[in-house]
Amino acid sequence: MMFAAPAALYFALSTLVLMVLALLRPRLERKNVAALFLWEDLKHDARARKIHFRQLLDPLLLLQVLSVFLLVGTLAFPLLSSTRQRLSALAIVIDGSASMRTITEDGRTRYAVAVEEAKAILNENPALTTSVIQFSSSPTILAEEVRSRPLVVRTLDASDPTWNGAGSIDSLVNALSAVGGLRAFDRIVFLTDGEGNDLPSEMERIDITGGENLAITAFSIRENPSSDGAIAFVEVLNDAESDREVTVRISDGSAQTSVAVYLVSKSSEHIIIPFPNSRGTVFSVTLDVEDDLATDNERYFALDRPLDLRVRWIGPPNRYLSAALGAVTPFTLIPAAEEADLTIVHQAMLPASYSGTILLVHAGIQGVVTLGDERDRGTVTAVLSSHRLLVGLEPADIRVFSSPQANLPEDATVILQADGEPILATWQTATQDVTFLAPRLELTNLPLAVDLPLLIRNVASAIVRLPGTLAYGWTHTGDPVPLLGRGAIESLVGPDGREMPLPSSDLYFFPDEPGVYRLTTDRGVFPLAVNIPPSESTSASPRETSANGFAGAAQRRQYWIDLWPTLAGLAAVLLIVELFLRKRGSLRLRRGEA
C-alpha cells in the first residue's frame, strides 16, 4: 500500500489531542479525605480495577480515535497494490503455435505454462465475460464472452497447441474483432513465446519461455546436376545455450546418408549433403539430438508429383520391358490421349505431336525417326561411355543379334553402336526428350541381363528430376496446400497412415500436423511433405518486461486501488455509530435521572 499524499498522515497526531482531552475529562470520582496517609498504598480492588480499565478504554473514545485515523487515511489518499482487478470483459489470447510444445525446465510444455498463467490471470481479474483465443496462423476462438469461469478453465485445460506457425498481428486483431474488437475488453493478455513486438497498445504481452531447441529450419532436395543422385540442402539451428555436435541424417525411404555437424550456440549452419543414387520422391532429414522440441528435429521433403510413373504405352506390350520398368519404379499405364511422364513406344510409330519423355524401343516417330532393314550386328561399342544412360551398364556385355537401320535426327547423340549403326541414342527437342533403343528386345540379351532395368532406371531417373510440374517448396502446417490440377481426389492418408476425411474444398487442403501426407487422385498418388514453420524453432528474445525463461514466472501485473472512498465511508459509519451510542447513553442517563 502507498499513500498519494503521505503528508496528510501528520494529521494523525491530532488523535493525541483527542486522547489527552479524553484523559483530562473528569472521569474519576473525587473523594476528599482528611487523612490521605490512611489511604495511601492501599491494595487495589481487583474488580474495581476492571471497572477502571473499562473507563480508560472508553469505547466511544476508541470509535473517535478510529474515525480520526480513518479520516487521516482518507486525506492521505491510500492506494492499495493488488494483483486482482475486477473487469467487465477479459480476453486471453494464448499462443497455440507449434513452438508452444517446447518442454520447459519443469517438464511442462510452454503451452501448459501458458494455460496455468491464463488461469492465474482469471483469478487476478474476475471478469463478467471472458473470451479465449488460441492464436496461430489459424486463430481459433476457444471461448467467446463466457460468463462461467469454470467453463473457461475447462476449455483451457482441454485445449492443445497446434502444429501451426504463429500468425500475424493482423490476423490476431481480426480474431479479436470476431469477439468484439480491441476496445470491447478491459484487458487483453497475449501469452506467447513469439516476438510480437508490434502488438496494439491495448494488448498486454506476457512472455512464455523456457526450453532449449535445436532444429532443422530448412530442407530441400535438388537433382545433382553433375552426377547421379540428389543433393540435400539443410539448415540446422542451435538455439541452445551451449555448442552441440549433431548428426544430420537424410533418408529417401530406402537409402540414407548422414553427416556430423558442430553447431555453435545461437547460430545456424547451412549444409549441402550429396545423396548419390537416390531415386526417391519423399525425403526426410533427421537431427539426432535430444532437445526440448522434438518436432522440428525431423523434416520432410516430397517431390510434389505422383509417386507412380504415368506411362503411356504405344505399341504391343512387352513383358520384359514392363518388368524392367516395374523394377525401377511404380508406374501406371494411362490412356494414350493423356499427358504422361513417360511415353514408351514399342515396335510402333509415334505421331510427331507427342511430347515429353519418350522411350522408343524398336520404334519410330513419324517424320523424325524411321527404321530400315534388319541386319546382323556385331559387338556393341560405347560411343559415350560416361553418359548418364550408361550408369551401371557394361556395354561390352550387351549382345545385339540384329538391329534395324535407323534414320535419326542430326542432333541425336549416339551412345552405343554396332557396326556403325546406332543401338542407343538420345536427343532433345523443344517438346521431346527421346531415348532411342534400336533393336528388338528379343534379338538382344537385354531381357536376360541386368542391363535393361539399369537402362530403364537411368531413363526414369532423368524423368523424375525433370523440372516443370515438380514443386520444390514445402508446406507448413496450417498453410493451405493447393489441390488444383491434381485430378479428382480419391483418398487422403495422414502421416500416421490413417485415412483422413476428404478435404471439403477441391482447391485447398489444410494439413494440421507435420509429416508426409499421401493424396490419391485419379491421376495418381501425390506425396505432400508438411513441416512446422521454421520460425517455430527459434525462441523469442526475452524482453525486459518478461520473466526470464522460467515456467510460470511471468511478472504479475500491479493494480492500484483507491482506498479513500472506503476509508471515508467507514469513518462516516463509525461516527454515526459513535453518535448513536452517545445519544443512547444520554437517554439512559435522563431516564435514570427521571
Partner 1 sequence: MGYLLDEVFLQRLSRLQFMTKGRLGGRLSGIHVSPRAGMSVEFADYREYHPGDDIRYVDWNIYGRLERLLVKSFIHESDLPIYILVDVSASMRLGSPPKIHYAARLALALAHLGLRSMDRVGVFPFAHRLLASIPAQHGTSHIRRVHETLSSLKAQDETAFEQSVMEFLSLTRETGLVLVISDLLFPTGIEEGMARLLYRGDEVAVLQILAPEEMEPSGSGTAQVVDIETGRFVALNLGPTTLASYKERFKAHQARLQSFLEEQRIPLFTIPTAKPLEEVVFGTLREAGIIR
> Which of these segments, 23-31, 75-83, 249-257, 314-322, binds partner 1 (CB under 8 A)?
23-31
**C-alpha span between 511 and 199 (Å, rounded):** 28
Phi then psi for 181, rounded to 5 degrees? 95, 165
Q: Does residue 57 belong to the site contacting partner 1 (CB under 8 A)? A: no
Burial class (CB in 10 A: 0-12, 13-18, 19+), 577: middle
**C-beta atoms surrounding 227 within 10 Å:** 12
Q: Does residue 30 belong to the site contacting partner 1 (CB under 8 A)? A: yes
Q: Which residue has 519410330 as its cell numbers? A: 364
Options 17, 51, 62, 327; binder of partner 1; rule CB under 8 A? 51
Q: Which is nearer to partner 1, 32 or 226 (CB)?
A: 32
**C-beta atoms surrounding 484 within 10 Å:** 8
Judge whether 303 and 272 are in contact, CB under 8 Å: no
| Shortest distance, position 59 Cβ to partner 1, whole Å | 17
Residue 9 three-state SS = helix
User: What sign results for the dihedral spanned by CA atoms 273, 278, 281, 287?
Assistant: negative
| Shortest distance, position 65 Cβ to partner 1, whole Å | 21
| Shortest distance, position 18 Cβ to partner 1, whole Å | 21
| Shortest distance, position 42 Cβ to partner 1, whole Å | 5
**C-alpha span between 227 and 361 (Å, rounded):** 26
Per residue, the 3-state secondary structure of 472-525, as one string, reads CCCEECCCCEECCCCCCEEEEECCCCCEECCCCCCCEECCCCCEEEEEEECCEE
| Shortest distance, position 34 Cβ to partner 1, whole Å | 3
CA angle in degrees (0–180, nearest 5) for 300-305-311: 140
| Shortest distance, position 79 Cβ to partner 1, whole Å | 44
Structural element, H or E, at residue 49: helix 46-56
Q: Which residues contact 409 (CB under 8 A, 6 or more apart)?
A: 368, 369, 427, 429
Options 28, 158, 488, 594; binder of partner 1; rule CB under 8 A? 28
How far separated are the first and last CA of the chain, in Å rounded?
Answer: 52
E strands within 239-302?
Answer: 244-251, 256-263, 267-275, 282-288, 298-302
User: What sign results for the dihedral spanned by CA atoms 205, 209, 214, 215?
Assistant: negative
| Shortest distance, position 26 Cβ to partner 1, whole Å | 9
Q: Does residue 254 belong to the site contacting partner 1 (CB under 8 A)? A: no
Judge whether 549 and 558 are in contact, CB under 8 Å: no
**C-alpha span between 414 and 408 (Å, rounded):** 9
| Shortest distance, position 70 Cβ to partner 1, whole Å | 30
Q: Which is nearer to partner 1, 35 or 337 (CB)?
A: 35
Phi then psi for 310, rounded to 5 degrees? -85, 110
Give 550-564 as a DSSP string: -TT-PPPPPEEEE-H
**C-beta atoms surrounding 422 within 10 Å:** 22
Options 1, 11, 17, 44; binder of partner 1; rule CB under 8 A? 44
Judge whether 536 and 297 are in contact, CB under 8 Å: no
Q: Does residue 24 belong to the site contacting partner 1 (CB under 8 A)? A: no
> Which of these segments, 12-20, 22-30, 343-351, 382-390, binds partner 1 (CB under 8 A)?
22-30
Q: Does residue 484 belong to the site contacting partner 1 (CB under 8 A)? A: no
Q: Which is nearer to partner 1, 47 or 498 (CB)?
A: 47
Q: Which is nearer to partner 1, 52 or 108 (CB)?
A: 52
Q: Which is nearer to partner 1, 38 or 488 (CB)?
A: 38
| Shortest distance, position 74 Cβ to partner 1, whole Å | 36
> Which of these segments, 46-54, 104-112, 445-453, 549-557, binds partner 1 (CB under 8 A)?
46-54
Burial class (CB in 10 A: 0-12, 13-18, 19+), 299: buried
Q: Does residue 43 belong to the site contacting partner 1 (CB under 8 A)? A: yes
Total residues at the site for partner 1 (CB under 8 A)?
A: 25
**C-alpha span between 458 and 393 (Å, rounded):** 10
Q: Does residue 591 belong to the site contacting partner 1 (CB under 8 A)? A: no
Options 36, 57, 158, 484; binder of partner 1; rule CB under 8 A? 36
> Which of these segments, 41-49, 329-337, 405-413, 555-563, binds partner 1 (CB under 8 A)?
41-49
Chain positions 152 to 181 lying near partner 1, rule: CB under 8 A, are: none
Options 7, 24, 33, 337; binder of partner 1; rule CB under 8 A? 33
Q: Which residue has 541452445 as its cell numbers? A: 240
Q: Which is nearer to partner 1, 42 or 337 (CB)?
A: 42
Q: Does residue 319 belong to the site contacting partner 1 (CB under 8 A)? A: no
> Which of these segments, 40-48, 279-287, 308-316, 358-366, binds partner 1 (CB under 8 A)?
40-48
Options 7, 24, 40, 593; binder of partner 1; rule CB under 8 A? 40
> Which of these segments, 45-53, 101-109, 482-490, 510-518, binds partner 1 (CB under 8 A)?
45-53
User: What sign results for the dihedral spanned by CA atoms 486, 487, 488, 493?
Assistant: negative
| Shortest distance, position 47 Cβ to partner 1, whole Å | 6
> Which of these segments, 28-36, 320-328, 346-354, 419-427, binds partner 1 (CB under 8 A)?
28-36
Options 7, 24, 47, 498; binder of partner 1; rule CB under 8 A? 47
> Which of these segments, 9-17, 44-52, 247-255, 319-327, binds partner 1 (CB under 8 A)?
44-52
**C-alpha span between 26 and 424 (Å, rounded):** 133
Options 7, 24, 42, 594; binder of partner 1; rule CB under 8 A? 42
> Which of these segments, 13-21, 47-55, 95-103, 151-159, binds partner 1 (CB under 8 A)?
47-55
Report the interface residues with partner 1, using CB under 8 A.
27-40, 42-49, 51-52, 55
